[in-house]
């Protein structure tokens, strides 16, 4: 009896097969995928179909492309970002690094922060968070945070000029002081409010954080309150593949 012809694999089916190999660690983080020609022979399809299947995995953030046409299983090492401990209680800021940098070093990783400072009118969101009129000038410290040389966070802190003027907040360098800069200049934070949203990055965030296609980000907003109202709002963009956000709450 004549056997019916074998059904040709689709790009989606190839993506499903490779995804399963990644999930069960037959293809491990950092492994190079077989070439398009090898996969085409394995699945009995054209290299074009293989490329379409791999593009699906790239969009899902499971595979990254490299120079020379190689494709590799993504091998990012996520950090645990404990937002309950971050900037709370007995801060670990010192001349060697702020609370964030200290936590990264404690995890056996190497942190760095690349800082730019500028003055800007407060947009609608910043004005709402800081409880000031829209368009009021604020000081902004923009920090590209790296771990082991790779971009991990883009953090923008905005301060009312009445707080920032004449202080280290306007210095374009990685400034850290025991207890935090705000406490050191006489404006300690007594409580914070967090807002977290998950979204796709904009083109600038994609470029600065070197995000592969299909990588979502968490936007973490922390508003710090002093004696008479907000003293700072920090908006941190954290790639979803490089972070585990942790909260510890008493119930």
pLDDT for 1 equals 52
Distance, in Å, from the CA atom of 183 to the CA atom of 179, rounded to the nearest integer, reads 6
- Is 153 in the same domain as 237? yes
Quickly state the pLDDT bin for 19 (edges 50, 70, 90).
very high
- Is 183 in the same domain as 242? yes
Please say which residue of 53, 73, 93 terminates a domain: 73
Quickly state the pLDDT bin for 167 (edges 50, 70, 90).
very high
Quickly state the pLDDT bin for 86 (edges 50, 70, 90).
confident
Whole-prediction pTM value? 0.78
49: domain range? 11-73
Quickly state the pLDDT bin for 75 (edges 50, 70, 90).
confident
Residue range 149-162, pLDDT digits in tens? 999 999 999 999 99
Residue 5 belongs to some domain of the structure = no
Distance, in Å, from the CA atom of 207 to the CA atom of 58, rounded to the nearest integer, reads 16
- Is 85 in the same domain as 171? yes
Residue 251 belongs to some domain of the structure = no
- Is 69 in the same domain as 91? no
Residue 213 belongs to some domain of the structure = yes
State the CB neighbour count (10 A cutoff) for residue 77: 12
- Is 240 in the same domain as 160? yes
Q: Structurally, how many domains does the chain consist of?
A: 2
Average pLDDT over residues 99-115: 92
Contact 242, 79 (CB under 8 A): yes
> With 60 as the cut, is the pLDDT of residue 199 above it?
yes
Distance, in Å, from the CA atom of 234 to the CA atom of 52, rounded to the nearest integer, reads 40
- Is 83 in the same domain as 204? yes
Residue range 114-143, pLDDT digits in tens? 999 999 999 999 999 999 999 999 999 999
- Name the strand (E) or helix (H) holding 139: strand 137-147
Quickly state the pLDDT bin for 40 (edges 50, 70, 90).
very high
Residue 92 belongs to some domain of the structure = yes
Mean model confidence pLDDT for the chain: 90
Residue 6 belongs to some domain of the structure = no
Lowest mean pLDDT among 88-92, 196-200, 222-226: 88-92
Higher model confidence: residue 14 or residue 98? 14
- Is 64 in the same domain as 88? no
Q: Show the beta-strand stretches assigned E in 161-239.
A: 191-199, 217-226, 229-239
pLDDT for 179 equals 77
Alpha carbon of residue 247 to chain centroid? 17
- Is 61 in the same domain as 113? no
111 CB-near residues (< 8 Å, 6+ apart) = 97, 100, 101, 104, 105, 145, 146, 147
Contact 114, 141 (CB under 8 A): no
> With 60 as the cut, is the pLDDT of residue 90 above it?
no
- Is 37 in the same domain as 60? yes
Contact 53, 59 (CB under 8 A): no
- Is 135 in the same domain as 19? no
76 CB-near residues (< 8 Å, 6+ apart) = 29, 150, 241, 242
Residue 3 belongs to some domain of the structure = no
- Is 67 in the same domain as 90? no
CATH of the domain at 198: 3.40.1410.10
- Name the strand (E) or helix (H) holding 144: strand 137-147
Distance, in Å, from the CA atom of 21 to the CA atom of 15, rounded to the nearest integer, reads 10
Please say which residue of 54, 73, 92 terminates a domain: 73
Distance, in Å, from the CA atom of 190 to the CA atom of 210, rounded to the nearest integer, reads 35
Please say which residue of 24, 40, 73 terminates a domain: 73
Residue 1 belongs to some domain of the structure = no
Residue range 209-249, pLDDT digits in tens? 998 777 899 999 999 999 999 999 999 999 998 999 999 98
- Is 141 in the same domain as 235? yes
Q: In a 3-state reduction of DSSP, which class is residue 190?
A: coil
CATH of the domain at 18: 1.10.10.10
Q: Express as a percent the part of the chain with pLDDT over 70.
A: 93
């Amino acid at each position: 009896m004549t056997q019916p012809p074998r059904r040709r694999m689709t790009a989606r089916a190839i993506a499903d097969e490779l995804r399963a190999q990644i999930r069960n660690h037959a293809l491990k983080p950092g492994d190079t995928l077989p070439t398009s020609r090898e996969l085409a022979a394995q699945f009995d399809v054209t290299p074009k179909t293989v490329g379409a299947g791999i593009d699906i995995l790239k969009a899902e953030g499971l595979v990254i492309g490299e120079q020379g046409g190689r494709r590799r299983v993504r091998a990012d090492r996520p950090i645990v970002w404990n937002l309950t401990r971050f900037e709370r209680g007995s801060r670990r800021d010192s001349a060697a690094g702020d609370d964030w940098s200290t936590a990264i070093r404690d995890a056996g990783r190497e942190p760095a922060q690349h800082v730019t400072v500028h003055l800007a009118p407060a947009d609608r969101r910043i004005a709402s968070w800081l409880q000031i009129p829209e368009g009021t000038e604020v000081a902004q410290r923009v920090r590209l945070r790296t771990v082991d040389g790779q971009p991990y966070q883009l953090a923008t802190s905005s301060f009312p000029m009445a707080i920032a003027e004449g202080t280290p907040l306007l210095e374009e360098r990685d400034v850290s002081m025991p207890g935090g800069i705000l406490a050191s200049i006489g404006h300690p934070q007594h409580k914070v409010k967090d807002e977290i949203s998950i979204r796709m990055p904009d083109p600038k965030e994609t470029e600065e954080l070197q995000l592969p296609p299909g990588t979502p980000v968490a936007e973490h907003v922390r508003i710090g309150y002093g004696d008479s109202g907000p003293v700072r709002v920090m908006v941190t963009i954290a790639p979803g593949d490089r972070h585990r956000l942790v909260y510890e709450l008493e119930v």
